[in-house]
Structure 1
Amino acid sequence: MPYPWSKRLPGRALAAVTALVAALGLATVSPAGAAGAAGTAGAVADAGPPRTAHPSGPRWAEQPHGFASLAGGTTGGRGGKVVTVRTQAELAAYASAAEPYVIRVAGSIAVEPFGSSITVASDKTVIGVGTSGEIVHGELQLKPGTHNVIIRNLTLRDSYVEGDWDGKTNDFDGIQMDSVHHVWIDHNRFTRMGDGLLDVRKDSQYVTVSHNRFDDHNKAFGIGWTDNVTTQITIDHNWFSGTKQRNPSADNCAYAHLYNNYLSAQVADGDPVWSYGNWARGRTRMVIENSYYDGVQHPHQADATAELVERGSILKGSTGRRDEWGTAFDPRAFYSYRLDPAAAVPALVTRFSGPQRDLGTDTVLDVPAAHPTVQAAVDAVPPGNDGAVTIRIAPGTYREKVRVPADKPRITLQGTGRNRSDTVIVYDTPNEYGGSSASATVLIAASDVTARNLTFVNDFDEAAVELKGEQALAMKTTGDRIVFENTAFKGNQDTLMTDSPRLDAISRVYVRDAYIEGDVDFVYGRATTVIERSLIRALDRGSATNNGYVTAASTWKDNPYGFLITRSRIVSDAPAGTYHLGRPWHPGGNPDAVGQVLIRETELPAAVKSSPWTDMGGYSWRDARFSEYRNHGPGAGVTADRPQMSAERAADHEVADYLAGHDGWAPHRRHLP
């Protein structure tokens, strides 16, 4: 039998989406813009500006709601490793494994033989990457006893066998589950399968089915196949379009809560019985709220043995049974939820149901809820990671070393507290025990890594322990395209090292709205580094003549851009005239390391020396590339020992010049008005 229908959006739906989304609180959030450190009070050093939202598109829930959230909740593969699959063999292996996994489906996977099942075992998240993830010609099957499974953002399609309209010959469902519990089916599309699109069977419990599309099919969504009255299920914000029956059919459900679903373009084949919308069968107790029925025959019906309560729905061009009897149950006695107005449902559901391009592209790992330490979360990221991973770190102090290896790019470390001081990663190893890489509390060797709303500390007490090497790094980076936003770095000597894998390799680091403290060479290395709108505190070592050095650049001689400190504020409690702005570092005496530092449009304290640059290791500061431009404050000045960059040259030393490189990288642009 051919598919005798076409799908249409409701009139003016697209035009109404934006207004409806905004009115319902689903609009994207614009950044408020954290205040810069320049001109701020000293207290900002500890807390930092409150964390602000970043533009991110619609906010998809990362945890299930409804019945799947009860009795311990549904977490899927949380706590397991993240893997990306592109073949049937890979998907089958990881989905059936005993241990938890977050399985990202990238691209279309054609299942062979036609109509075959892929078993999904307990403790799994299977999620499509953007709109690319597809399971074609096959089904996902959850066998009896399976529990704690999340299936999201996939398209499951095309196991329909021509002529088998009723699915009597081939039992090729989209997803089939028997006697399972705690399952969340969310933001998927089911179309043209061999039998049912989704079957929840045989006493399955604690299930939520949300934001899915069911289309172009006879039997959409069935629940039951049991004499027991056991199943608890939440069904919300789904779009049933071009389907004939089971939208859903719910047999012997203890509790079936349906709200904000949209039923449209029902198959019009003249069948007086088996073309219907929602059906409460057997002894089901069903509650329907604020749904929208457009052109549906028998929009909601119930057996005499069932109970069905309906409230707030809209019926347009719908005919036939509209049964309501009994008291059913009160969903709010089980969980809280928010109802959207029924009039808004067509626009909202057509826009936000089914796979979304922003889902599955950013895997979220929670510390310590899913992973006990930050390093454990990093370890869960696959080598060669090709998807964005956000490691959300709850407020607290994490005494550990963290290593992000070079083969794990595209990671974001995100503190979830209100201020950066709420979430601290700290350790106390000095340089003498293994050099800069071993001493660093956090080492980022990967590229495309971002850290936000965090504090990094090396609390080695140099006064209490006498060592040859007292350097103790809070942070070292060697990767390219590293971003620090609203972060703090605390230490003494060598607090923040931004480096590259080798002298002639150029890595770029962007630091904004940060707090950095230390005393000797506490901002140093050879990476091209921009520090913008930040507060830099030069600590007092108790000397009347020399309390330290802010920078120690080792820029490669052929790299025109080293350190840029701009629109920031340097503060110090040290006596006047006791601090250097920097000195040239030549690692191993290498003459090709010719430091470049520009400090521009920045407030300088009285602690800065009148001759602020000095020699290092036998190399003259005058042979380095040190300069200032339009600085201010009590420590600013223009003398023969303070090279000033001309306005003409300064035009080529803006933030964009330092960061653009060969690929036009521009992380600063997200902050531009």
Structure 2
Amino acid sequence: MPRPSLVSPPRRRTRPKLLVAAAAIPIAVGVLTPLPAVAAPMSDLLRLMGAPNASSLDGPIWSATATGFASAPTAELPHGTTGGAGGDTVVARDAASLAAYAASEEPLIILVSGDIVVGDGDMITVGDDKTIAGAASGGAIVDGGLFVDNAENVVIRNLTFRDSYIPGDWDGKFDDNDNDGIRIDTSDHVWIDHNEFARVGDGQLDVRKDSTAITVSWNYFHDHNKTLGVGWTEQALTTITLHHNRFSNVHQRNASLDNVAYGHVYNNWLSGVSSYGINARGQASVLVESSVFEQARNPLIADGGRVHQRDNIFRDVWGTEPAESGPTFEASEFYAYTADPADEVVGLLTAHAGTTKTPRVERIARHVTVAQDGTGDFASIHAAVGAASRSPHPVEIVVEPGVYREVVSIWKGADRLTIRGATGNAGDVVVTYDKPDIDWANTPTVSVYAENLELRDLTIENSYDGSAGESVAYALRNSADRTELRNVVIIGDVDEGDPR
């Protein structure tokens, strides 16, 4: 396969539309000392983010310059992706100021201080030559996201994207739910680094419509259905690097790489995958190396695309055999990198994936509630169980009345977990999904892999309509020892799988 051109794809050069109304805030508000120009592109930003000084074999864990395909130089960007380097540094503390800064025409380094609540899952549009980063004190985008639309040279780092989830819409299909964490459309030279994504409405990160020179590094994706999708195009133009990312308690698109010209995936950790892990789709050409797949169904598949894998660790995985299509390309022909040994990946990502404020030990109470009206600790059972599986202590999850349409996988690590309906009436809490067991993409409504689990006072249902053809439709799959069901109604098939 010929080496791709790293020239930016044709794009409209128009000022991005604001999806969030910006108040009339002078752009000078919050201006700090400007950073030095391109000679030292982002070194001062590390201090402003409170980034630790740590390294792996691959280099600095908090790099001062872009890595992967985002580092590729062009005539317009001889230093690769630099974001707002050389521009002023400003501070955003609310959605209006962030939207105004992000849409401005000049280069800017925008520090996000505290939780910025956008609301209704709306997205703030980001223009050219911007760095948006969480401050050392912490920065989060809550109930909203960032939209990189027909833009060039954007860096997004050290931010938490959380809680745009719409209760009851686990699939992200409601008409009012296009709530992505970050969406990148027809853009080039974008670096997404050291962010955390949790409980987002639709896609946690979508890279779409012929975006190129993209790097996604050292992020933490967890407790979600559609994690990281790449594609939405008939062309194979996208170049993307995914390295040192952690995926925990996720379902599909981890990542889905559709029609990517070159997709380099290395040193990622997928733990707790209920549908499929990495998928090379369409015309995709993918290299996967030195990554860890554990407690993962269909960990590495090729749905039309080609994938070459080497030096990966597969443990406690099932479903389809990890795909191997033969050699695809060598990433070292495009940029310098050194893959860390696969047996060091879990330790590295436990310590360093996510933001400077990401907890390294999950903080969850011993007793939590799930409610769809916003009164609980979580809005989905799936998210509560994910947190419990990473907790150092047993957890009781009490579920308030409602119909919860979602897939729930109770991973090893959630041993001695209790999930019970709040009222004691099994009919008041219904956990339901509607997929038959006919291909790699379909799963039971509830799957149990943890030992000493108690399910009580609820209904577990697979509502698949078999009139179109006979097929097994599992409501419950149990692959663990000492699972106790008390006052549980099961509607659908039950599978006593092999312990994993």
TM-score, with normalisation over the residues of structure 2? 0.58
Is 1:228 the counterpart of 2:235? The answer is: yes
Letter in 1 for 2:64: E
**1:104 maps onto 2:111 in alignment:** yes
Aligned residues: 294
Q: Aligned residue for 1:80? A: 87
**2:245 is the counterpart of 1:249:** no
Aligned-partner SS, 2:227: strand
| Matched residue SS, 1:318 | strand
Instruction: Return 5+ residue gaps in structure 2 as ranges.
Output: 1-50, 55-59, 75-79, 359-500
Indicate the residue corresponding to 1:311 in structure 2: 310
1:256-275 correspondence to structure 2 within 5 Å: 256-267=263-274, 275=275
Q: Which has the larger radius of gyration?
A: 1
Give the Cα separation in 2 of the matches to 1:334 and 1:131.
Answer: 36
The 5 Å alignment of 1:587-602 reads: none
Residue deviations 1:26-82, cap 9 Å, x none?
xxxxxxxxxxxxxxxxxxxxxxxxxxxxx9632520111110000330000011000
Q: Over residues 509-539 of structure 1, what are the superposed CA-to-partner deviations in whole Å (9 max), with x where a residue is unaligned?
A: xxxxxxxxxxxxxxxxxxxxxxxxxxxxxxx
> Which residue is equivalent to 1:172?
179
Write out per-residue CA displacement over residues 224-281 of structure 1, whole angstroms, 9 at most, x where no aligned residue: 00000000000000000011010000000000000000000224xxxxxxx0000000
Q: How does 1:543-562 map to 2 (within 5 A)?
A: none
Match of 2:64 in 1: 62
Does residue 1:90 correspond to 2:97, yes or no? yes
Tell me which residue corresponds to 1:202. 209
RMSD between aligned residues: 1.4
User: Which structure 2 residues correspond to residues 180-199 of structure 1 after superposition, within 5 A?
Assistant: 180-199=187-206
**C-alpha distance after superposition, 1:188-239 (max 9, x if no partner):** 0011111000000000000000000000100000000000000000000000
Structure 1 unpaired stretches of 5+: 1-54, 268-274, 359-673
Classify the secondary structure of the residue corresponding to 2:296.
coil
Determine the structure 2 residue equivalent to 1:116.
Answer: 122
State how far apart, in whole Å, the 2-side matches of 1:329 and 1:340 are: 19
Note if contact 2:138-2:356 (Cα within 8 Å) is conserved in structure 1.
Answer: no
2:165 counterpart residue number: 160
More strand by share: 2
Determine if the alignment matches structure 1 residue 323 to structure 2 residue 319. Answer: no
What does 1:562-601 correspond to in 2, within 5 Å? none
Report percent identity of matched pairs: 49
What is the Cα deviation at residue 357 of structure 1? Answer: 5.0
- The amino acid across from 1:121 in the alignment is G
Amino acid at match of 2:257: A
User: Deviation per CA, 1:129-170, whole angstroms, max 9, x where unpaired?
Assistant: 1361000000100112x0100000000000000111111111
Contact 1:109 1:134 in 2 (8 A): yes
Other structure's SS at 2:168 match: coil
Q: Go from structure 1 to structure 2 and tell me whether the alpha carbon gap of 1:131 and 1:291 turns closer, same or farther (over 3 Å shift).
A: farther
* CA distance in 1: counterparts of 2:300 and 2:220, whole angstroms: 19
Local SS of the residue matching 2:136:
coil
2:48 alignment partner in structure 1? none
Q: Which amino acid aligns with 1:352?
A: H
Q: Is the 8 A contact 1:129 1:357 kept in 2?
A: no
- 1:151 corresponds to 2:137: no
SS of 1:132's partner is strand
| Closer/same/farther in 2, CA of residues 131 and 354 from structure 1, 3 Å limit | farther
Helix, strand or coil: the match of 1:326?
A: coil
Kept in 2, the 8 Å contact 1:131–1:355? The answer is: no
- Give the partner amino acid of 1:64: A
**Correspondence for 1:350:** 350
CA distance in 1, matches of 2:73, 2:66: 12
* Equivalent pair of 2:112/2:139 in contact (CA under 8 Å): yes
The equivalent residue for 2:277 is 277
State the match for 2:286 in structure 1. Answer: 286
